[in-house]
Structure 1
Amino acid sequence: MFSRFFIDRPLFAAVISTFIVLAGLASMRSLPIAQYPEIAPPVVTVQAIYPGASAQTLEQTVAAPLENAINGVPNMIYMSSNSASNGIVQIQVTFEIGTNVDIAAVNVNNRVKQVEPRLPEEVRRQGVTVERGSSSFLQVLAFYSPDGRYNDLFISNYVTLNVLDQLKRLPGTTNVQIFGAHDYAMRVWLKPDRLAQLKLSPADVIGALNEQNAQFAAGKVGQSPIDQKQELVYTITTRGRLSDPKQFEQIIVRANPDGSIVRLADVAHVELGSKDYEFIGRVNGKPSTLVGIFLSPGANALDVAKSVKEHMSELSKRFPEGLTYSIPYDTTLFVEVSIREVLKTLGLAMVLVFLVVYLFLQSWRAAFIPFAAVPVSLIGSFAGIYMLGYSINTLTLFAMVLAIGIVVDDAIIVLENVERIMREEGLAPRDAAIKAMREVTGPIIAIVLTLTAVFVPIAFLGGLTGELYRQFAVTIAISVIISGLVALTLSPALSALLLRPHEAPNKYFAAFNRWFVAVTHRYSDGVVWMLRRGVIGVVLFLVMVALTIGLWRFTPGSLVPDEDQGWFFTTVILPDGATLERTDKVVAEVEKAIHSNSANAYVIAFTGFDFLGGGFRNNAASIFVTQTHWDERKVTTPQLVGEVFGKTAGIKEALVLAFNPPPIFGLGTAGGFEFYIQNRGDGGAKRLSEVTQAFLARANKDPQLGFTQTLWRATVPQLYVDVDREKAKTLGNYYVNDFNKYGRAWQVLMSAEQGYRQRPDDIGSVYVRSTKGEMIPLSSLATVRYSSGADSLDRFNNLPAVKIFGQGAPGISSGQAIARV
């Protein structure tokens, strides 16, 4: 008999259980910790830049060719893209769950390289980047100057030069980026009127910059092969790239026949400025440089967050006086609280199991034997979790909570049978254990196989549901298998060592036993009554089955329930064409309204960034609002979301929306639902807008939908000029070349000064050279007229599309809302 070996050798049984516990404890140290299993599909991001291009130009000349090439890459599920009027197009390629994201990035990059020669020259000069995306948003760091001595330009570049690289090298981070980074750029602000007076065009300035701000390989003197008398070799050096605004001002644009010289300073203002001025970051109203940290798949969120905090603590010691940082957004706080609550439940369940076992067995020695199986089974499960590549998360811990009541059953069967034999047959503990195991070894194995057969099939479910609950089911199965092994080895050995002949119970247990016997008799009488009336039993069974089916059909469904994650986000949308400065003023009002409730700890504003639609837009802003600790507030995050709607209803200049975060990051950008309406026919953006507005009008009348909205508009104010855009380079940013400073390469950008690009008729102030060498104003060659069009264009699966988002009405689950849509 298998168990006889361990009854005769109890130390060996103890060693096996100790080994299982040690293996579990060792695995716990290496297991990643997360809120949920890694179920978000891997994403690869492709980004291209076309300075000065409209959304329509980007979609037709960049997005469409790239998507045509990428479409069909192995394991791709779908792809989406956004082409914005700021000249940036982003393509998100989503792959099947389980796909190696590094291999996927290589495959996408190969497709991009095939089509890259067909892209516009400006796009090729800027470069097309392909990198793996990350849906695991870990933290947001805010860098700011409390006394205001440093501006955004200095802080952003200080972080780039001294902090960003350090954080990127931390294990567990997949991406560390500055939102709206104000990277240094040599800004050449042209004066079109001076250019016209001196009979120069922007092309002349570009040629001078390319010629005189260049790196030369001048070679060597005395380099082999040479005469044998040559004894020295000289490397020739010359001034290469310029690095200072004063050096750029001295660039010769034209040398006149009379000996006079026109320098860059005569026709332009040169300064070391920012590459981009289209973003404003704030934390609690203070201008800040915002850095996002993303977690790599499989990394331990708590360890990475701790590592970031430790490194920032060290780096901050080298900060110049007047510069500091904070961590206003940290997703690990919710992970810690979630795991803490599950561990509380786990501990409470273990205590209750012990008390119940003790109450019925009425002996500390007897209660210890089945209870010993609990820590061995649960801790040993971590070794199985580690071998399968799973993580410690709320689902695996919840599985252990549920398994406590299951793993103790096998040991109770062993113990109860040993005690029964000792009481009825008067055998010694060792002999009783041997006889008991002859009787229950088969049933214990059958119980383990039956329970395993119940949970293991869940591991083979497909889709997101399968990925989400696979770890839950497998964790229970592992703990059940280990409990069966313990019941066959440790439990009979302990029974033989610890049990004593049965003694009379004390008065308390005696009273409980009398009550329990009475309840048992009544139950037995009820069973006998029901057996004599079998038809009633069958009818009750059928009623319960029908009731179960009915509840299954009518109970609201969703992937996971919404929770109070300790933060929510708000989006602010102004009328089409609004400037960034105008948007920032409204954001300040929204910040004030949100901060009026002390339960909101941090208000992090991303002015110029559209979190819902994706990309940067002057008339949009996204605000992350984090709350105080759960123990320190009485209101929930959903209640605060509703409060934001009420407090911002009086802001007439903008649409202010507030959302709960998605239950699982990477599955949507907000709680609720989002989807695309595709245009599979003709009609362009105008027809797409008509269909979208018709759908929204009908959806917003539906009582099951809370609201349905899109941030896309097809009527943004624009100017149409019937002329080659290359002849109006001064109105946008034109990338000329690069310069070196602080050990890095930065861009040289050329555009018109602020006063020459404020009104539509400023386009006419640009002059071009005719074939006769005469300077002709652009207004005499082209007609400028007002028009309207889309500020950004989305595509989904290689077709023009519009993103729609919304949520169900109160009391309506996300599953019901999606079905209704």
Structure 2
Amino acid sequence: MISQFFIERPIFANVIAFVTIIIGLVCLYQLPVAQYPQIVPPTIQVATRYPGASAEVIAATIGVPIEQAVNGVEGSIYMSSTSSSDGSYTLTITFNVGTDLNTSMSLVQNLANSALAQLPAGVQQQGITVKKVSPNILLVVSLYSEDDRFDEAFLSNYGVINLQYPLARLPGIGQVRVFGAGPYSMRVWLDPDKLETYGLSTVDVQAAIQGQNLQVVAGQLGAPPVPNDQPFQFTVNALGRLSDVTQFQDIIVKTGTGPAPQIVRLRDIARVDLSQQYYSNYANMTGHRSAQVIIFALPDANAIAASNVVYRAMDEMSKDFPEGLAYTIRFDTTTFVREAISSVYETLFIAGILVLIVILLFLQSMRAMLVPATTVPVTIIGAFIAMMAMGFTVNLMTLFALILAIGIVVDDAIVIVEGSAYYIEKGLPPKEATIKAMQELTGPVMGITLALVAVFLPAAFLPGITGQIFRQFALVIASTAVISAINALTLKPVQCAFWLKPRDDKPPNRFYRGFNRVFQAMTDFYMAIVTRMVKRPLLMLMVFAIIINASVWGFLHRPTGFLPTEDQGYGVLLARLPEGASQPRGREVADKINNILNQTPGIKGWVTIGGYSVLDGANVSNYSTTFVVYKDWSERGTRLDQDTIVASINRQLFAMQEAQAFVVIPPPIRGLGQTGGFQLMLEDRRSLGLAELQRTAQELAQKGNAQAGLRNLASTFSYSSPQLYLDINRTKAESLQVPMVNVFGTLQAYLGSSFVNLFNKFNQVFQVYIQAD
């Protein structure tokens, strides 16, 4: 018999328990910590830019070729793209849970590159970026100054130059984006009148810059093969790629011959300055001008560990900040995870103490209580070994499973204690009594364990996201049951044989006597009720049927949902201005929102990104996104819960006439959408056009909002933005020997901006653009 083997070798049994605890603690230290199991489908993002192009042009010239090439990549579920009016294009490909993104990224990269030849020349110059990213934001680092001494361009480019790349190299970080002003760019602001005066076009200006701002490879002097008497070897350098505004101003665009030679430089026809590559976004932090460094975690990263690394890195890099520059991390999605995990650990500890108190009350023997008491640490800590072996994380579901398991794992030990105590009271020595008890209890203990495993194991095979959530919960409980059984057959018999003693004739103390009297009275009362019920079987059957029917009716009529809504410590404020609204109008709305939030109780701070829609994950000119961070839960109390704060903000936003604005709560599981609720995608499968697609989307939203169970249905898709159509007389242009490519190139350069080439500054590479002033 296995138990007798360990009773005869007590040191061996204790070593097994100690090794289990040590390995379990090591696994606990190494296990990733997360809010929920990894159930969010991983994503790969393909991004590029087409400066000056409209959203419709981007969708037709970039979206169609890339999406046709990438469609059907192995392991993908679906893909969605966003084409923005600022010239950006983003394609997000979602894969099945468990897909190896390293392999998938190579496939996506190859397929996207196969479409590169079909893209416009301006896009080919920008290139295509393929990254594996998590759709949820980890945290936001805000750069600002208390006295607003720095402008937006400085703040954003300080983040780009000094923070973006070091943060992107940190373990667990998938993507780092800097929002606020655009990155530095050498902007050449052309004067159309002066161009006409000098007989120049944008094509001439672009060719001049390309010809004089280029990297020069001048070669070497004295390089082999050389005569034997050659003493030195020199590398020849020349000014090639420019870096300063004055150097660009001195670029010669046109020369003239004759008695009075004429040289036209770039400064004669344009204003040159080191400015921004694009002006789509703006940012503020609790009313201060700022740059927002948004950090996304990798799909399978340990969010808390990644967040800790960012905090340490920012603390170190902030030592080199210029005077007056500061940073803060107002928005951190891991704050709620830390609080939730800490609360569950506290609950786990309290549950263990309560179980031990209950055992002591009923066994009324400290020696007997110690046997099941030692089961809890061995089994619970040992469960982390199973979690590490199965690739699980320390999350709310696995910890909840451990809390429930505390009451289950002590059952085997209590049964063994009772069986051994029974034979000890019969007069057998503790060792022989335990051996005899285990001969009877080994089978029941194994049977109970198999029954528990059989109950919880099927939940591990549930399909879909629901199955992903409950798989870890079920397997952790099954693992604790198995570990408890092993512990009950090895260590518990040893403890019973050495710790249990025959009861003496001394009566229990006053507390136990009082408890026994109360418990006996409750038992007698219960038996009286059961006796009455047994004598009225038909009536009890009717009561049973009523209870079952009432339970079924209540179950069917209760509201259903995926996961309960939780106060995660922040909300998302979305503001939408009318179509075609300019950026100054958006800034005015942002200032009014700042005033509203500043006067709302329970708000710790907020982070605003103008020109960005968190719903699309893309730049949308008439949108702004504000992450509203509440004060700590302990400071707010129950009086200022999330519903109260959100209702207060929405009441004030409703009175604002300049824009439609409202606060939404984040999703229960970060990464499954950007806000709570659901997302519905409309597809134009019959190619009816964008206008019909928008009409259908608006009609669907109106009908949905009319239903009692739905609210705040809206679509970020817009085709009705005010636009101008330029009707070009192509026949006349050709008859005047003006190529259409020059007409379109001039339009793009004047009204959009045209990419020319690159220049180096601050050990970075930036872009050169020309545009009409």
With the shorter chain as reference, the TM-score category is over 0.9
In structure 2, how many angstroms separate the alpha carbons of the residues matched to 1:517 and 1:78?
Answer: 64
Question: Is 1:610 paired with 2:629?
Answer: no
User: Displacement of 1:583 after TM fit?
Assistant: 0.4
Q: Which amino acid aligns with 2:765?
A: A
User: Displacement of 1:712 after TM fit?
Assistant: 2.5
The residue that corresponds to 2:720 in the other structure is: 715
Structure 1 stretch displaced more, 352-361 or 688-697? 688-697
Task: Note the alpha carbon deviations across 1:359-409, whole angstroms, 9 max, x for none.
Answer: 110111111111210111111111111111111111111111111111111
In structure 2, how many angstroms separate the alpha carbons of the residues matched to 1:727 and 1:276?
Answer: 19
In the alignment, which of 742, 751, 757 is matched to residue 731 of structure 1?
Answer: 751
Question: Is 1:38 paired with 2:43?
Answer: no
Task: Note the alpha carbon deviations across 1:574-621, whole angstroms, 9 max, x for none.
Answer: 111111111011111012112212310111111111112331122110
In the alignment, which of 274, 277, 282 is matched to residue 279 of structure 2?
Answer: 277
The residue that corresponds to 2:763 in the other structure is: 743
CA contact (8 A) 2:281 2:609 kept: yes
Q: Which amino acid aligns with 1:496?
A: A
Q: Which amino acid aligns with 1:585?
A: E
In structure 2, how many angstroms separate the alpha carbons of the residues matched to 1:574 and 1:104?
Answer: 39
Aligned to 1:676, the other structure's residue is in SS state coil
Aligned to 1:356, the other structure's residue is in SS state helix
User: CA 1:52/1:141 → structure 2, altered by over 3 Å: closer, same or farther?
Assistant: same
In structure 2, how many angstroms separate the alpha carbons of the residues matched to 1:488 and 1:548?
Answer: 41
Structure 1 stretch displaced more, 114-123 or 590-599? 590-599
Q: Percent identity?
A: 39
Question: Is 1:658 paired with 2:678?
Answer: no
Question: Is 1:678 paired with 2:683?
Answer: yes
Question: For residues 179-198 of structure 1, what are the structure 2 equivalents within 5 Å?
Answer: 179-180=179-180, 182-198=182-198
User: Displacement of 1:498 after TM fit?
Assistant: 1.3
The residue that corresponds to 2:218 in the other structure is: 218
In structure 2, how many angstroms separate the alpha carbons of the residues matched to 1:294 and 1:85?
Answer: 24
User: Displacement of 1:470 after TM fit?
Assistant: 1.3
User: Displacement of 1:490 after TM fit?
Assistant: 1.4
In structure 1, how many angstroms separate the alpha carbons of the residues matched to 2:571 and 2:360?
Answer: 46
User: Displacement of 1:657 after TM fit?
Assistant: 1.4
Aligned to 1:705, the other structure's residue is in SS state coil
User: CA 1:150/1:697 → structure 2, altered by over 3 Å: closer, same or farther?
Assistant: closer
The residue that corresponds to 2:643 in the other structure is: 638
User: Displacement of 1:199 after TM fit?
Assistant: 1.1
Q: Which amino acid aligns with 2:121?
A: E
Q: Which amino acid aligns with 1:686?
A: A
CA contact (8 A) 1:32 1:298 kept: no
CA contact (8 A) 1:136 1:296 kept: no
CA contact (8 A) 2:201 2:746 kept: no
CA contact (8 A) 1:144 1:289 kept: yes
In structure 2, how many angstroms separate the alpha carbons of the residues matched to 1:662 and 1:193?
Answer: 54
The residue that corresponds to 2:91 in the other structure is: 91
In structure 2, how many angstroms separate the alpha carbons of the residues matched to 1:179 and 1:460?
Answer: 43
Task: Note the alpha carbon deviations across 1:145-199, whole angstroms, 9 max, x for none.
Answer: 2223221222222222222222222222222221245311111000001101111
Aligned to 1:674, the other structure's residue is in SS state coil
The residue that corresponds to 1:101 in the other structure is: 101
In structure 2, how many angstroms separate the alpha carbons of the residues matched to 1:100 and 1:558?
Answer: 30
Aligned to 1:389, the other structure's residue is in SS state coil
Question: Is 1:497 paired with 2:517?
Answer: no
The residue that corresponds to 1:805 in the other structure is: none
User: Displacement of 1:533 after TM fit?
Assistant: 5.8
Aligned to 1:725, the other structure's residue is in SS state helix
Aligned to 2:424, the other structure's residue is in SS state helix
CA contact (8 A) 1:370 1:412 kept: yes
The residue that corresponds to 2:560 in the other structure is: 557
Task: Note the alpha carbon deviations across 1:717-738, whole angstroms, 9 max, x for none.
Answer: 1111134532312211110001
In structure 2, runs of 5+ residues without a counterpart are: 729-742
User: CA 1:165/1:697 → structure 2, altered by over 3 Å: closer, same or farther?
Assistant: closer
CA contact (8 A) 2:133 2:296 kept: no
The residue that corresponds to 1:622 in the other structure is: 625
In structure 1, how many angstroms separate the alpha carbons of the residues matched to 2:530 and 2:447?
Answer: 26
User: Displacement of 1:131 after TM fit?
Assistant: 0.6
In structure 2, how many angstroms separate the alpha carbons of the residues matched to 1:43 and 1:299?
Answer: 13
User: Displacement of 1:450 after TM fit?
Assistant: 0.6
Q: Which amino acid aligns with 1:474?
A: L
The residue that corresponds to 2:314 in the other structure is: 312
Question: Is 1:172 paired with 2:177?
Answer: no
In structure 2, how many angstroms separate the alpha carbons of the residues matched to 1:236 and 1:315?
Answer: 37
CA contact (8 A) 1:254 1:261 kept: yes
The residue that corresponds to 1:705 in the other structure is: 710
Counting matched residue pairs gives: 752
User: Displacement of 1:310 after TM fit?
Assistant: 2.0
Question: Is 1:74 paired with 2:80?
Answer: no
User: CA 1:180/1:288 → structure 2, altered by over 3 Å: closer, same or farther?
Assistant: closer
Task: Note the alpha carbon deviations across 1:49-76, whole angstroms, 9 max, x for none.
Answer: 1111111111111101111111110111
Question: Is 1:479 paired with 2:474?
Answer: no
User: Displacement of 1:203 after TM fit?
Assistant: 0.6
User: Displacement of 1:531 after TM fit?
Assistant: 5.6
Question: For residues 206-605 of structure 1, what are the structure 2 equivalents within 5 Å?
Answer: 206-225=206-225, 230=230, 232-258=232-258, 259-423=261-425, 425-503=426-504, 504-521=507-524, 523-524=526-527, 542-605=545-608
In structure 1, how many angstroms separate the alpha carbons of the residues matched to 2:576 and 2:599?
Answer: 21
The residue that corresponds to 1:163 in the other structure is: 163
The residue that corresponds to 1:29 in the other structure is: 29
- TM-score of the pair, normalised by structure 1: 0.89
CA contact (8 A) 1:180 1:276 kept: no
User: Displacement of 1:442 after TM fit?
Assistant: 0.5
Aligned to 1:578, the other structure's residue is in SS state coil
CA contact (8 A) 2:179 2:282 kept: no
Aligned to 1:4, the other structure's residue is in SS state helix
Q: Which amino acid aligns with 1:92?
A: T
- TM-score of the pair, normalised by structure 2: 0.94
The residue that corresponds to 1:777 in the other structure is: none
Q: Which amino acid aligns with 1:727?
A: T
Task: Note the alpha carbon deviations across 1:498-537, whole angstroms, 9 max, x for none.
Answer: 1121243234323433443454455456556656665556
The residue that corresponds to 1:148 in the other structure is: 148
In structure 1, how many angstroms separate the alpha carbons of the residues matched to 2:236 and 2:346?
Answer: 73
Aligned to 1:135, the other structure's residue is in SS state coil
